[in-house]
Structure 1
Amino acid sequence: MAEAYVHDPVAFFIGVITAKSELLFPLRAIIESSIGKIAFESEILRFDEFTHYYEPEMGGGLLRVWIALEGIRPPESLIRLKWACTAIENHFKKEGKRRVNLDPGYLTLAKVILATFKNFSHRIYLGDGVFADLQLMYRRKKFVPMEWTFADYRSEGAQRFFLMLRESYKKWLKSYKNGQLEPITGW
C-alpha cells in the first residue's frame, strides 16, 4: 500500500487573453500587488491564430501572453488563485463584458495543469467550483499535448514559455529541497 506524502510545491503561472494591449501594464501591477511578483512573461501571441472562441465577448484582435509568478507554492493554492484571477477579471469588466481573461495554472517537472470552472469528462474537481485540467505532459525534453489540449497551449510560443518556466522551477525546487527557499503562502 502506498503511503501518503506531501506534494512538492509547484510553479504558478497565469494565462492572459485580452484585445487591449494597453491593459497589460495595469494588469501586471494588479497581479503584483494582489497575487505575487512576476518572474517573467512569454512573448505576446495573436490568439486569433488559434481560436475565435472569446471574440463574441471580448472582441477581435485578441492577444495571448503567459505570466510566470516568482517562487513556488503548494499546489492546493490553485483554487484560491483561480478565485483571485476571477476577481481581477471582474475589476477590468466594462458593460458586463470581460476585457481580460485570466486562466491560472501550475507546472511541475512532469506536467502543466490549468484551473477552470468548467466541468468536462477529463477534468478533476478540486473544490469551491474549481476543476483541474491537464494540458501538457513533459516527455523527451518537451511538453506534449493531450487530445483535448487547447490550440494555444500546443504552440511553439507556449512550448518556449513552459520550458523556461520548467528551468526556473527546477532551480526553485532545488533551493527548496536544500532548505534555502520556503514556499510562498497566501492568496
Structure 2
Amino acid sequence: MAQATIHDPVQFFVGVLIADIGLWDRVKGAIEANWGRIETESDRIDFDQFTDYYEPEMGKNLVRFWVSLEGIRPPEDLIRLKWSCTAIENVFSRDGKRLVNLDPGYLTEAKLILASFKDFAHRIYLTQGVFADMQMIWYHGKFAPREWTFADYKSETAQKFFTDLRETYRRKLKLYREGKLKPLSSGFQFDF
C-alpha cells in the first residue's frame, strides 16, 4: 500500500512590481505584518524592458524585484499567501487599479512555483481558486526556464536571486532535517 508523506517545508518569496517605489515601505510593512520579516531583497530592474502587459493598469516605468520571506513553511501555505498578497494589492489600489502587483511563490531544491488565479495548460489547480504555476526547474546547476516562463524570471537578476535563495533554502532544509529548525506554522487544516 502506498504511504503518504508530508512534503518538506519550502522557501517562500514574493515578486514585487511597482511604479512608485516610494510606496514600497508601506507595502513591505503589510507583507511583514502578515508573513514575518523579509529576509532578502533582489536588485531592482526595469520591468518595461520585458513587456507592456501591465501598462494600462499600472502605467510605465515599472520596477521589478523579489523578496524572500523568513523561515520555511509548508507548501500548502501558498494558497494563503496568494490570497494575502491579493488583499494587500487591494489595499494599495486606486480607482480599481493596482499600484503594486505581488506575485507569491516558493522554491524547493528542484523547482520554482508561482501562485496564480488564472488557469493555463501547465498550471495545476490547488484549491480556493489558486493554481500552482511551475516556472522553472533546477537543471545542471541553474534554474532552467520553461517555454512559458515569464521573461523577467529569465533575467540575470532573477537567476542570481533565486540561485542564492536556493542555497539559503538548502541550509535551512539541512537544519530542518537535523531537527534544529522548525517550519513556521501553516494554520492549514485537513478534515479527515
> RMSD of the alignment, in Å?
1.0
**2:170 paired residue number:** 170
> Does residue 106 of structure 1 match 2:142?
no
SS at match of 1:103: strand
Tell me the residue number matched to 1:17. 17
1:20 aligned partner, one-letter code: D
Provide the secondary structure at the position in 1 that maps to 2:67: strand
The farther-off stretch of 96-105 and 24-33 is 24-33
Residue 136 of structure 2 contacts residue 143 of structure 2 at CA under 8 Å; is this kept in 1? yes
Q: C-alpha offsets along residues 57-78 of structure 1, whole Å, 9 cap, x if unaligned?
A: 0000001010101110000000
Equivalent in the alignment of 1:133: 133
Q: Please tell me the residue identity of whatever aligns with 2:138.
A: Y
Q: Residue 23 of structure 1: CA displacement?
A: 1.0
Runs (4+) of structure 1 exceeding 6 A deviation are none
Aligned equivalent of 1:161: 161
Percent identical pairs in the alignment equals: 59
The whole-number CA distance in structure 1 between the counterparts of 2:185 and 2:14 is 17
TM-score (norm 1): 0.97
> Which residue is 2:190 aligned to?
none
State the partner residue of 1:149.
149
CA contact (8 A) 2:74 2:186 kept: no
- Tell me which amino acid in the other structure corresponds to 1:107: L
User: Corresponding residue for 1:84?
Assistant: 84
Residue in 2 aligned with 1:64? 64
Q: Deviations over 1:6-60 (max 9, x none)?
A: 1000000000101111111111111111222111010001000111100100000
1:30 pairs with 2:30: yes
The CA distance in 1 between the partners of 2:166 and 2:147, in whole Å, is: 22
Structure 1 residues 74-110: Cα deviation after superposition (integer angstroms, max 9, x where no partner): 0000000000000000010011110000010000000
Cα distance in 2 between the residues matched to 1:90 and 1:185:
25
In the alignment of these two chains, the number of paired residues is: 187
Where do 5+ consecutive residues of structure 2 fail to align?
188-192
